[in-house]
Amino acid sequence: MHEVWSDSTSGFHPASAPDYLPEPQLRELQLRRLKAVVRRCYDNVPLFRQRMDATNMRPDDVQSLDDLSRLPFTQKCDLRDTYPFGLFASPLSEVVRVHASSGTTGKPIVVAYTKEDLDVWTEVIVRCFAACGMHSGDIVQNAYGYGLFTGGLGAHYGAEALGATVIPVSGGNTDRQIMILRDFGVTAICCTPSYFIHLIERAKETGAGLRDLPLRVGVFGAEPWTEEMRAHIQKEAGIEAFDIFGLTEIIGPGVGIECRAHNGLHIFEDHFLPEIVDPESGTPRRDGEEGELVLTTLSKKAMPMIRYRTHDITRIKTGHCSCGRTIRRIERIARRSDDMLIIRGVNLFPSQIETVLLSIEGTTPHYQIIITRDKGLDQLEVQVEVTHELFSDTIGGLEQLRSRISHQLEIMTGLRMEVSLVAPRTIQRSEGKAKRVKDLRNAT
Ligand code: AMP
Ligand code: ZN
C-alpha cells in the first residue's frame, strides 16, 4: 500500500513532509521502495524483465541503494519502441489517466497513471508550492497548457489540494491573461519563464505594469532559464520566482523545485531517486560532479521508470540547504546532452523536421532551424532548400509548397514556425556533424 502523506481534509503541514526526514530514514524508505518497484517492473514489464535476465540479475539482487547502478537504463526510445502501452506495469483497467510528450519521430511517447500515481503527483506539487511559500487562500493562475502536456493538469490538482483557488486559464491569449491577473487578484502564477517574460512585455505595452498587483509568487519551468531572467522577472513583476523541474516520463512537473533559499532544486527523492552519470559511458558520478541526470521512480505503479536517462545535464549539490530540507538538490538545468530543443515549453527534435521534409516532394533534407527570441517569446524559422525543378516553378507553386510544409510541420510538432524556401545549395554543407540549429535566443 502506498503511503499517502498529504491529507487535504485535515489540513496541510509542510513541516511534517518527507522533505525533512532524517537521512538514514530517507535512505531506508528509498531502498524499501526501490526493491518493490524493481520487483513490479520485473513481474509486469517484458522489456525490463528481458534486460534483467540478460545481465543475470534478479529483483532480489537489489540489497542496497548502491545496487541501483547495476540495473539497466531506460531511454526515450524504449517508450517509442513499445508505443503506446508497452511499458505499463498495471492493467489498463487500473490506469485512470494518460499524458503524452513529443518523441523523436511523429509518434508521441505515452505515460500512464493509476489513482495512486495521481495522488503522488498531487502530493509532490503540494510540496512544491509549499516550498515556494504558497498556501491555502492563494489565487493561482495556471497558465501551463492543459491537455496531453503534463504541465496544466499536474499543477492544477496540486494547487487545489493545497487549498488554493485555481484559475485554469491554460496557455495563450496574453491580453486575457493580464486581465485575469489584474481583476481576480491573482497571487501566484505558473507558466514557462519565457511566457512570463512575454506577459511582462505585453503588460507594459498596455500601459500597466505588474508590479502594483497582489501577485507574489511565480512558479516557472518546463524549459531552461537563467539567473539573469530571474532577476529581470523579479524586478519587473515584483514577485519571487521559483524554478520547477519535471519531465513527462517521470511524472510531469513536480520532480523537483527550488526552496526560498534559491540555491538549487530539491528533488523529491522519496519518490524520484536521482543519480548522475557520465553522459557517454553511463558510469555513475559522485555527488558534486557534473553529468547526466538519471531518475528512478520509487512509487509509481502504472508506469515506473528504472534509471531513466533524462539527458539533462546537472550535478547533485553537496552540503545542506539552509531551509532544513534533507532531500538533496540539483543545480538548475541549463543544457541537455542530446539535440532536443525546447520551444515555448514544447519539446522539438530536429529529426521531426527532417521526417516531414523527407515526406514532401520537391524539398531536400538540407535545412536549417533558426531560433530567436522576440519580446520573450521563442520564434522559429525553418529554411528549406528546394530542388532545382521546383525553384524555377511559379511563385504560386512555391507558395503552395511553403504552406504545405508549414502545415505538416505544425501537425508533426504542435508548433507554428515560419518556413522559408531557399535556392538549391544555399545552406552551408558541413564536413562533420551537420549544424542544423542556430539557437540565437541568448543573443536576442
Ligand atoms: P516534458 O516532458 O515535455 O515536460 O519535458 C521535459 C524536459 O523539459 C526536461 O527533461 C528538461 O529538459 C526540460 N525542463 C523541464 N523543466 C525544466 C527546468 N525547470 N529547467 C530546465 N529544463 C527543464
Ligand atoms: Zn532548501
DSSP class of residue 74 equals B
CA distance 116 to 93: 13
DSSP class of residue 359 equals T
Q: At residue 142, what is the residue type?
A: N
Q: Among the atoms of ligand 1, which is closest to the Cα of residue 340?
A: 12
Q: What is the mean pLDDT of residues 35-56?
A: 98
Q: How confident is the model at residue 5 (pLDDT cuts 50, 70, 90)?
A: very low
For 231-261, what is each residue's pLDDT tens digit?
A: 999 999 999 999 999 999 999 999 999 999 9
Neighbours of 196 (CB within 10 A): 27
Average pLDDT, the chain: 92
Q: Among the atoms of ligand 1, which is closest to the Cα of residue 311?
A: 10
CA distance 46 to 276: 26
CA distance 352 to 101: 13
pTM score of the predicted model: 0.91
Contact 66, 95 (CB under 8 A): no
Ion ligand 2 — residues with CB < 5 Å: 259, 261, 321, 323, 325
CATH level 3 topology of 1-336: Rossmann fold (3.40.50)
Q: Which three cell numbers stand for residue 378?
A: 521563442
CA distance 101 to 342: 12
For 168-215, what is each residue's pLDDT tens digit?
A: 999 999 999 999 999 999 999 999 998 999 899 999 998 878 999 999
Q: How confident is the model at residue 14 (pLDDT cuts 50, 70, 90)?
A: low
Neighbours of 3 (CB within 10 A): 11
Q: How confident is the model at residue 91 (pLDDT cuts 50, 70, 90)?
A: very high
Residue ranges around ligand 1 (CB below 6 Å): 101, 150, 221-224, 243-248, 310, 312, 333, 336, 342, 347
Q: Among the atoms of ligand 1, which is closest to the Cα of residue 151?
A: 4
Smallest CA-to-CA distance from 211 within 182, 241, 238 is with 238
Q: Which of the residue ranges 204-208, 325-329, 333-337, 384-388 has the most confident prediction, judged by mean pLDDT?
A: 325-329
In the chain, pLDDT over 90 holds for what percent of residues? 78
Three-state SS at 98: strand
CA distance 341 to 87: 25
CATH level 3 topology of 340-439: GMP Synthetase; Chain A, domain 3 (3.30.300)
CA distance 335 to 329: 17
Same CATH fold assignment for domains 1-336 and 340-439: no
Three-state SS at 219: strand
Contact 252, 303 (CB under 8 A): no
Bridge partners of residue 183, in order along the sequence: none
Contact 362, 389 (CB under 8 A): yes
- Positive or negative, the Cα torsion across 382, 356, 223, 187? positive
Mutate to test the pocket of ligand 1, among 194, 244, 247, 314 (most ligand atoms within 8 A of CB): 247
Q: What is the mean pLDDT of residues 356-375?
A: 88
Q: How many angstroms does the Cα of residue 94 sit away from the middle of ligand 1?
A: 28
For the chain, give every domain's residue range.
1-336, 340-439
